Structure 1
Amino acid sequence: MGVRSLMSGLFSAALLAAPFVGASSLSLPPTSDLPAAEQRVEPVTLGAFPAQRAYRLPGGGLLLVPSACKTQRCPLLTVSHSRGRTPQELIDSPSFQPFLRRLLEANLPLLLSAEGGPDGWGGPEALWQLTRDFTLSRSKFKFSGRTYALGVSMGGMAALRAAVDAVFDVHGLILIDGRVSLSDAWRSGTSRQSELSAAYALAGRPPATYEDPLASLPAKFKLPLLVFGSMQDATVNFTHNGLALYAKAAGLGSSLVHTTGPHLGGSHLNDQVAAQVVAFVENLQARSAASGSQIPVRPVPSATPLSTAGVEAK
């Protein structure tokens, strides 16, 4: 058993049964006041997804499970939300619903954690909630043991932190107009600085390098990445975020998709983008099923009619 797997098991047990004591520089909150898992996860019916098994998690997170995943082994896809939004608001968003449906049709259970609230910014509280929600969610379907992380806009921070710092393994990372540089977020406007200061306990100072998930990324860290971004995005600077992460961390099976238009433009969450996400996950699943054989990975198909100016693949 690897060190990380051992940590995951120990953390899961502590999370659900006893106070968690000082194993992380993130200063995870104690769990002694949490009820048992069965009291915290409640089945719900979602109006926009009436046919899906769904569960409400502590703090407002949601888990959507395709019916097929009751009997067949399925990976988990965590979906980290954009700034100012909650999991329920994403579920209720008409522009986001078709994207989620396409993922569910591909038998991908979706975990939308509350992650520290609408302005959690991938900070310690956000990461703690995501880790807890992962632990609670994996018993609600036939979990294959593989997890993929998708970050939308601000959610890129939590998705990257999950891949680097969380005690569960992330086997592929997807960014859609994703922000991963804490320093760039700090420089992008005073309105964000107060939120970032609260999320990271900065007390009004700029973030240090070790607090920035991109700047502190280990040199040897490599992961399959699927990164979408537009050079016309005036909200999240693609060069300082998605492109910078791809240059540092893209592993075998990665694809960089150049989109066009403004931040989270209408074509950035359409059916073609969802199909690219599904293809990325399925490629990595196929590699895993091949028991370590070096099978080729197909480039993620380009959505040229609407959203992409080009696709680069490794």
Structure 2
Amino acid sequence: MTLPLMLATLWTGAQAATPQNVPALPTPAPSVAAHHSPVPSETVTLNRLSGPSFLRIPDTCQIQACALVVVAHPRGQSAERLHMSPQVNVLIQALLDASFAVLLSDDGGANTWGSPAALDQVAGLHADAVSQFDWNGRTYALGLSMGGLLALRSALPGSPYLVSGVALIDGWADLRSAWGGSVARRIEIADAYGLGAAPPEPSLNPLTEVMTHPPFPLFVAASPDDAVVSMKTNADILYSRAEAGVSDWVMLTGPHLGGNRFSPTLARHLAGFFGRLEARELARSVPRR
């Protein structure tokens, strides 16, 4: 799967909007963005048999404790592919600028489909990553396409590390929907989960588990034009479990992983979502008099 550079209009919804009441905004007039210098960062390579992962640490983490965002990649890709992608780096740089360390995870392989085994491998990467900088104890997850399944699984009970908020961009949430979508996906999922011909049990499906989970912070960006991951059976259902007040629904147009997924506008929305969660945690830590 490639990351196409097809551009389309970006529609954004108000904070904590529901899919039914997201307003469509007009296409903004061209404007010159205010100049700012990107925050410099250090890159640490974490090698595994399945491939390298890359930890990006902004220089601001040298003077303050930082949270970590773990990024799970699309089907057939790798952490190295994300690390080398100028489009993905628009999102990553926005997180670095907001003083988040970012782990581009190999996810245990190219087609692990959010399996428990993949999450166990990422847990080892997470432990290595947080030892490399002044970590504040909080972790967030970002899933791109297939990576949505791993991002969601990491936030559910039983995860080997605690995740305080999840963002999905064109993300799969329903494993059984992915299984039924194509023979190729079914073969990959069966291999990743150690299954035979039978579909995954409901207990293996992150979306099923999410529906019994208390509402939690979610950032969901999806398009009704996406012919790969159905917005109706993934994003729409998932967002019903979004915690009000901090969650974000961003309505996109255009094809799966089109160019507007990697725009500065979406990058700012994404960094703002994680930033709100950090601000809330900091406010909670201030002693009341």
Q: Report TM bin, short chain.
A: 0.7 to 0.9
Structure 2 counterparts to residues 257-268 of structure 1, below 5 A: 257-268=250-261
**Shift of residue 130 of structure 1?**
1.2
**Which SS does the other structure have where 1:61 is aligned?**
strand
Structure 2 residue 204 is the aligned partner of structure 1 residue 205:
no
**Shift of residue 98 of structure 1?**
2.2
Matched residue, 1:184: 177
Matched residue, 1:235: 228
Following the alignment from structure 1 to structure 2, what is the Cα–Cα distance between the partners of residues 153 and 246?
A: 16
Instruction: Tell whether the 8 Å contact from 2:83 to 2:104 is kept in structure 1 after alignment.
Output: no
Matched residue, 1:157: 149
Structure 2 residue 47 is the aligned partner of structure 1 residue 58:
yes
Question: In 2 relative to 1, CA 292–143 (structure 1 residues): closer, same or farther, beyond 3 Å?
Answer: closer
**Shift of residue 189 of structure 1?**
0.6
Instruction: Tell whether the 8 Å contact from 1:153 to 1:179 is kept in structure 2 after alignment.
Output: yes
Following the alignment from structure 1 to structure 2, what is the Cα–Cα distance between the partners of residues 251 and 198?
A: 37
Following the alignment from structure 1 to structure 2, what is the Cα–Cα distance between the partners of residues 223 and 274?
A: 21
Per-residue displacement from partner, 1:247-278 (whole Å, max 9, x unpaired)?
13445411111111111111111111110011
User: Please, what TM-score do these two structures have when normalized by structure 2?
Assistant: 0.81
**Shift of residue 283 of structure 1?**
1.0
- Aligned partner of 1:58: which letter? N
Instruction: Tell whether the 8 Å contact from 1:114 to 1:126 is kept in structure 2 after alignment.
Output: no
- Aligned partner of 2:137: which letter? G
- Aligned partner of 2:182: which letter? G
**Shift of residue 51 of structure 1?**
4.9
Matched residue, 1:246: 239
From 67, 77, 84, give the equivalent of 1:75: 67
Instruction: Tell whether the 8 Å contact from 1:75 to 1:146 is kept in structure 2 after alignment.
Output: yes
Structure 1 unmatched runs, 5+: 1-48, 294-314
Following the alignment from structure 2 to structure 1, what is the Cα–Cα distance between the partners of residues 141 and 149?
A: 11
From 271, 286, 295, give the equivalent of 2:279: 286
- Aligned partner of 1:136: which letter? D
Matched residue, 2:17: none
Following the alignment from structure 1 to structure 2, what is the Cα–Cα distance between the partners of residues 217 and 101?
A: 30
**Which SS does the other structure have where 2:75 is aligned?**
coil
Per-residue displacement from partner, 1:104-157 (whole Å, max 9, x unpaired)?
122111011211201011112210111111111111111111111110100000
User: Please, what TM-score do these two structures have when normalized by structure 1?
Assistant: 0.74
Q: State the Cα RMSD in Å.
A: 1.8
**Shift of residue 290 of structure 1?**
1.2
Structure 2 residue 125 is the aligned partner of structure 1 residue 136:
no
Following the alignment from structure 1 to structure 2, what is the Cα–Cα distance between the partners of residues 51 and 210?
A: 42
From 214, 217, 224, give the equivalent of 1:221: 214
Following the alignment from structure 1 to structure 2, what is the Cα–Cα distance between the partners of residues 160 and 226?
A: 11
- Aligned partner of 1:288: which letter? E
Instruction: Tell whether the 8 Å contact from 1:115 to 1:125 is kept in structure 2 after alignment.
Output: no
Instruction: Tell whether the 8 Å contact from 2:39 to 2:58 is kept in structure 1 after alignment.
Output: no
Matched residue, 1:296: none
- Aligned partner of 1:209: which letter? P
**Which SS does the other structure have where 2:149 is aligned?**
helix
Per-residue displacement from partner, 1:178-209 (whole Å, max 9, x unpaired)?
00110000111111011000111112321111
Following the alignment from structure 1 to structure 2, what is the Cα–Cα distance between the partners of residues 220 and 121?
A: 21
Matched residue, 1:23: none
Structure 2 residue 79 is the aligned partner of structure 1 residue 90:
no
Structure 2 unmatched runs, 5+: 1-37
